[in-house]
Amino acid sequence: MKAIGILIFWSLLLYSCKEVSFQETQPAGIPALTEVPRALQGRYRGMDDQGNDTDTLIVESWGYHFKDGKNNDWLGRGVLSDSLVLKYYENYYFVNFRSGKHWVLRLIKIKSSGSLQFMAINIGDEGKRKSVLKKLSKRFKVKEVKEKEDLFYEINPTKDQLLQLIKDGFFTGDELEKIK
């Protein structure tokens, strides 16, 4: 399993200063879940580059929270609400975070091992951003919107187009290991 640090996880979980965003929660037309399904609930751990445990992600029926190595629960939480929306479609969980007028999307796939594959459209560095946006602009109208210090590249895919983006490898990420 590819090792990740909690800082990388947090940067993917929340949002960075530059994001591909959406006008509405994704996938469009799929109803939101009212609670986190049992299959997704559990304790997951990140690992640093040396293979050491980092903080623990705890997914519960109402949302998620983190505990540090000393079992302190001060690192943050997210509660399903009108600004954190969870959907399930075609074996993926779609985690939608509201940021101003935009929706930022993260994808979760449960692996056969029980670990979570956690994915996003990564446009963090300049080279990758240009390449991804060029490819996206061949499929969609990409609207660039600046809000305060954040820059959003808004697209509006159908369900089928979104699934094709997943199949074509636009969403990438790492795994969080399920704690037995």
Q: From first to last of its 180 residues, what are the pLDDT tens digits of the chain?
A: 333 344 344 444 444 589 999 999 999 999 999 999 999 999 998 766 666 667 788 999 999 988 877 777 766 789 999 999 999 999 999 999 999 899 999 999 999 999 999 899 999 888 899 999 999 999 999 999 998 888 999 999 999 999 999 999 999 988 888 996
56 occurs within a structural domain: yes
Please tell me the predicted confidence (pLDDT) of residue 14. Answer: 47
- Burial category of 60 from C-beta neighbours within 10 Å (exposed 0-12, middle 13-18, buried 19 and up): middle
What's the number of domains the chain is made of?
Answer: 1
67 occurs within a structural domain: yes
pTM over 0.95: no
Please tell me the predicted confidence (pLDDT) of residue 112. Answer: 94
Please tell me the predicted confidence (pLDDT) of residue 51. Answer: 65
User: Omega into 27 within 30° of 0, i.e. cis?
Assistant: yes
- Residue 29: which residues within 8 A CB-CB, separation 6 or more? 159
158 occurs within a structural domain: yes
Cα gap 68→125, rounded to integer Å: 28
Q: Which residues of 103-126 are buried (b: 16+ CB within 10 A; e: fewer)?
A: bbbbbbbbeeeebbbbbbbbbeee
105 occurs within a structural domain: yes
Which domain range does residue 124 map to? 6-178
1 occurs within a structural domain: no
